[in-house]
Amino acid sequence: DIQMTQSPASLSASLEEIVTITCKASQGIDDYLSWYQQKPGKSPQLLIYDATSLADGVPSRFSGSRSGTQYSLKISRPQVDDSGIYYCLQSYSTPYTFGAGTKLELK
Amino acid sequence: EVLLQQSGAELVRPGSSVKISCKASGYTFTDYYMHWVKQRPEQGLVWIGRINPANGNTVYAEKFKSKATLTADKSSNTAYMQLSSLTSEDTATYFCTRIGDWGQGVMVTVSS
């Protein structure tokens, strides 16, 4: 199984910062990587797919990138509404695997 | 608009089974795999498996092979997941998803 190592587990950021969350795959996944935001009691919402493509309706302050087998989600000048838990998902091979999640708090 | 409408919350007894549904609309049901994901309270997301609604072919994560059974009814555009031999470890919210679009989740509580 492909392991997705996500970091950090939590972070607190100000509205002026650039927030970066990373997921490192245990092997190559050919950019079959998506990012999700989940708020309490809600379903995950797709932010980024195919590592770098912005999902419909997602603000442009969200972006995705890759360096080797490490994938990153960047939030530029986050808003208070961006608080929540963020997950990565590899869909390169079954079983699909999620990262453990990053809890983002905006201060 | 793609919509995945899941069935309501379930309270079930240990040792029993439960079948939850996911009705799809807004797209061609047979064109996309339907995946199922488990989330225990205050925990992360775990992929259970997927079904190809066009032919019924399924793939399961190893730990769910004897726990979950995925089916799909093309006539009603509905996917189902049956969970068997339920224990407290199965208390969780279960989502159906096309990966991009998600159902609202079904809370399954296993309690005597």
How is residue A90 written in tokens? 């590899």
Reported for B66-73, long-range contacts at CB under 8 A and 24+ positions apart, including other chains, are B68/B36, B70/B34, B70/B36, B72/B29, B72/B34
Per DSSP (E only), the strands in A1-107 are 4-7, 10-13, 18-25, 33-38, 45-49, 53-54, 62-67, 70-76, 84-90, 97-98, 102-106
Q: Summarize pLDDT for B35-74 with one digit per residue, the tens.
A: 999 999 999 999 999 999 999 999 999 999 999 999 999 9
Is B29 a residue whose pLDDT tops 90? yes
Please write the tens of the pLDDT for every residue from A12-57: 999 889 999 999 999 999 999 999 999 999 999 999 999 999 999 9
**pLDDT for position B16:** 98
- Find the residue in B nearest to A49 (Cα): B100
> What is residue B48's predicted lDDT score, i.e. its pLDDT?
98
Do B45 and A98 lie within an 8 Å CB cutoff?
yes
- A55 to chain B, any CB pair closer than 8 A? The answer is yes
Distance from CA of B87 to the nearest CA of A (A): 22
- The model's confidence at residue A107, banded by pLDDT at 50, 70 and 90, is confident
Question: Is A44 in CB contact (< 8 Å) with chain B?
Answer: yes
The pLDDT assigned to B108 comes to: 98
Q: Give the confidence band of B98 by pLDDT, cuts at 50, 70, 90.
A: very high
Q: Contacts of residue A55 in chain B, CB cutoff 8 Å? A: 100
Q: A95: which 2 tokens?
A: 């079983």
pLDDT computed for residue A16 by the predictor? 85
Residue B32 pLDDT grade (very low, low, confident, very high; cuts 50, 70, 90): very high
Per the CB < 8 Å rule, is A46 touching B99? yes
Radius of gyration of chain B (CA): 13
- Who's near A31: CB < 8 A, 6+ residues apart? A50, A51, A52, A66
- Select from B45, B60, B101 the residue whose CB has the most chain A CBs within 10 Å, as the one to mutate to test that interface: B45
